[in-house]
Structure 1
Amino acid sequence: MGFSFCSFASGSSGNCYMVESDNTTLLVDVGIAGKRILAGLEENGLQVEDINGILLTHEHIDHVRSIRMIGRKASQAEIYGSEGTFSCIEDKLPPDRIHPLLEEDPFDIGDITVVPFDLSHDALEPMGYSFVHEGRKLTIVTDTGYVTDDIFDQIRDADTLVLEANHEVNILRMGSYPYPLQERILGEEGHLSNETAGNTICHMLDALDGKKTPKVVLAHLSSENNTPEQAYLTVKNILFENDYYVDRDLELSVVRRDDPSPLIEV
């Protein structure tokens, strides 16, 4: 059976991902204009009424921009997130369809099992998610300042990993961002750098020890402090330094901030 991932948008200006099996369609975050979400669904042969669940990672506007509209139009979809996230946007939510989650308490939406886990970000109880279907696992980790042991436990056996590569440290340090904002981004409740992403992937490959060849998708790139080419090059170089090679040990790709990605089979 099919199990796939698609990015409608990924980055500091807005985020929305689709996860689907043959029988279940989920959205992870709705941080872009509603019409773009509807267009992304249509490009994949779906309508908003086909959505079975909406999962929110946290309350920042680039992740919840269209929750009121999509929550209303996707009338069959239950909405999931942490108590902290819901408390920040409760006026935008249909109260009869929200489901507060606890860390690492698995649950099913249709034929997909979802495992929520805590992230380290300057939001109120942010969450990442793993998705399991027919023995295949997709894990999405963005908007975290560092990779905790609990986060890595979700990463270590993923078949497909969507991982934040937000910034190149040297570009951030030499750029126009004021110093306090630079420190926020670089802090433990900020965002993962290209280098940290590369080292995390190496750690993942160490743990897998050749048992599978994962797909890794770099995501949530900064518009000012990174480029898709830079993220890919930095991560590829770190892999090479650790004797790991793209197309031999893993498949590596980058999703762009404003362009939908191809459908990626998990």
Structure 2
Amino acid sequence: MQFSILASGSSGNSILVSTEQNKILIDAGLSGKRILEFLSKVGVGGEEIDAILLTHEHVDHIRGAGVLSRRFNIPIFANEGTWLAAAKDLGKIPEANCKIFDGPFSFGSMDIQPFSISHDAADPVGYVIRSGKAQLGIATDMGYVTEEVLQALKGVDHVILESNHDLEMLKMGPYPWSLKKRIMSNVGHLSNDDAGACVVKLAENCTPCIYLAHLSKDNNIPELAFLTVKNTIEDHGLCLNYDIRIEYTYRDRPTALFKAG
């Protein structure tokens, strides 16, 4: 299984996950044109996408989903709460391409486990995707890391994890106080410190590779997110690049194709 984080941030989110048999997108939160541009950078055409899975209905996760679905006849998978909340923004989707799940399901060569996350959306989820021995966890847009999230990610050695903001940058930054409170709340976004604490717990069960995601343009710096997580894991006696590996993701360009398994 291979994957590329095509874009990650408040301006749009999309992740390509591929096996020899199937290629799917987790979210499609940029314009259809932009997603196709980023797919082409990793050698994939829009006609190769077999499905789109939605985590929740916020526009930075669904902006291009309806367009791509109609253009390439791609089914969209989401739980009922997300479908109901996203329907207006997705536009008209043929009934055959409206796929509602209410628990784990399989698609082609992939076994997909949704798990609930704490965010201010109708019924938001993360995913663990498995294909053979390969496994990938996707856990972003969370106000805090619940026990359900930790259990879902237990033993998963590739995890795309939110590290949205530096708390002091957020507090001192330009956002109105109402937005700052929302981001810091239990249905907002994970701070760098939260991400570091989560990584320490994940390392108890495997040697994970962590992909720091959904970094704020205004309230974070990639190097600061990296150092905060690095310092947290080292404070707990863990070693970067031995116990844990850390990779960046980007708002405006795709990562390389990473291999899981």
Q: TM-score, normalised by structure 2?
A: 0.95
Matching of residues 181-200 of structure 1 within 5 Å: 181-200=179-198
| Offset, 1:62 | 0.5
The match for 2:219 among 225, 231, 240 is 225
Matched to 1:240, the amino acid is E
| Equivalent residues, number | 257
Asked if 1:34 is matched to 2:32, the reply is yes
CA distance in 2, matches of 1:89, 1:239: 38
| Offset, 1:155 | 1.4
**Match of 2:203, SS?**
helix
Unaligned runs of 5+ in 1: none
Structure 2 match to 1:245: 239
CA distance in 1, matches of 2:131, 2:214: 24
RMSD: 1.1
Structure 1 match to 2:258: 264
Q: TM-score, normalised by structure 1?
A: 0.93
CA distance in 1, matches of 2:66, 2:135: 29
Matched to 1:217, the amino acid is Y
Cα contact 2:56–2:124 (8 A) shared by 1: yes
CA distance in 2, matches of 1:108, 1:73: 24
Cα contact 2:4–2:255 (8 A) shared by 1: yes
Matching of residues 51-70 of structure 1 within 5 Å: 51-70=49-68
Structure 2 match to 1:96: 96
Structure 1 match to 2:79: 82
Runs of 4+ in 1 over 6 A off after TM superposition: none
CA distance in 2, matches of 1:108, 1:114: 6
CA distance in 2, matches of 1:132, 1:99: 19
Unaligned runs of 5+ in 2: none
CA distance in 2, matches of 1:24, 1:67: 18
CA distance in 2, matches of 1:93, 1:53: 16
Identity %: 38
After superposition, give the CA deviation of every residue in 1:62-107 in whole Å (9 maximum; x if it has no partner): 11111221111221x32111211111222424132111222xx221
| Offset, 1:264 | 0.9
CA distance in 2, matches of 1:110, 1:155: 22
